[in-house]
Amino acid sequence: MNLSQLSQNLNIIARSVGAFIRQEAETFDTSTIEMKGFNDLVSYVDKQAEVQLVEGLRELLPEAGFITEEGTDSTKGERYNWVIDPLDGTTNFTHSLPIYCVSVGLLDGDEVVVGVVYDPSRDECFSAYKGGGAFCNANPIKVSEAPALGNALIATGFPYYDFGLMQQYLQVLGGFMAKSHGIRRLGSAALDLAYVAAGRCEGFFEYNLNAWDVAGGSIIVQEAGGRLSKFTSDGDYVFGREIVASNGNIHSEMQEIIQEHWKQTAE
């Protein structure tokens, strides 16, 4: 498989779907919003964008299966599987807040080998493939060189439906507030990861995530020179429901703060 060519074609598909999302944003009717669960929104834009992605990706790599947020196709491939979030940041989208994106990653077994995160509002296409480096609109990107947490800006996500671990999470946030330049909550995990890769922030952490939230962005961070793990250990950060991403230099400091407050019973 030619990962370079696959990545280029994936970028074209993501841009096409992003153009559809951008067009729909101009006339989006909030009365069409559906609720999958408490504070878990979905719209026809999410669903149609996913249909378009599945159709394009099926032609691109016929032998691959799919792991999709909206359930358009759940056929698993023997080796390859596309992991798709058609509109990461749906809540932002429905409130006309222009921080959302298309996110797609390709799994070869358990390893992400190609990824794209496309922001239609800023027309920024972050992409990477295994061994090929990371890019934004075809320009190479790399993680920040900030040497320590005291020089870092940290991104995270806040719980929006499961508040059982809220007190522990607030303590973790307090630890980062006291030892970094600050914390940002953008509302799109995929863009958070892309921004770590591009050096716009030095670290990102969040729990209660799904594979489609992080698959596309994770390889972009990796190929940009960053590091990824679970909260207090290495392990499966794609399906493990929690992730720490950083420029590498501050990774241990991030894990130490989390470990101080994130007890084993919360895992």
Same-domain pairing of 186 and 66: no
In a shared domain, residues 195 and 86: no
Tell the burial category of 125 from Cβ atoms under 10 Å away from its Cβ (0-12, 13-18, 19+). buried
Nearest Cα residue to 216 out of 101, 124, 109, 133: 101
CATH code of the domain in which 66 resides: 3.30.540.10
My answer on whether 123 and 40 are in the same domain is: yes
Instruction: Based on the fold, state whether residues 133 and 22 are members of the same structural domain.
Output: yes
- Do 159 and 76 belong together in one domain? no
Query: Of the residues 112, 141, 170, which one is the last residue of a structural domain?
Result: 141
The verdict on 130 and 189 lying in the same domain is no
Is there a binding annotation on residue 192? no
53 and 175 part of one domain: no
Is 234 labeled as ligand-binding? Answer: no
- What is residue 73's predicted lDDT score, i.e. its pLDDT? 85
Answer yes or no: do 74 and 187 share one domain.
Answer: no
pLDDT of 256 reads: 95
State residue 265's pLDDT score.
41
What pLDDT was estimated at residue 165? 76
Q: Do 98 and 161 belong together in one domain?
A: no
Domain end (from 113, 141, 169): 141
119 annotated binding-site participant: no
CATH number at residue 202: 3.40.190.80
| Domain C-terminal end among 124, 141, 158 | 141
Q: Which domain holds residue 24?
A: 3-141
User: Do residues 17 and 85 both lie within one domain?
Assistant: yes
pLDDT given at position 37? 54
Question: Can you tell me the distance from the alpha carbon of 44 to that of 88, in angstroms, rounded to the nearest whole number?
Answer: 14
Amino acid at 264: Q
Domain count, the chain: 2
125 strand-pairing partners: 118
pLDDT value at residue 27: 87
71/111 same-domain check: yes
Do 232 and 126 lie in one domain? The reply is: no
* pLDDT one digit per residue (tens) for the chain, 267 residues: 799 999 999 999 999 999 999 999 998 877 677 765 554 556 889 899 999 999 999 999 999 999 998 888 888 999 999 999 999 999 999 999 999 999 999 999 999 999 999 999 999 999 999 999 999 999 999 999 999 999 999 999 987 666 677 788 899 999 999 999 999 999 999 999 999 999 999 999 999 999 999 999 999 999 999 999 999 888 999 999 999 999 999 999 999 999 998 864 444
Q: Give residue 36's pLDDT.
A: 57
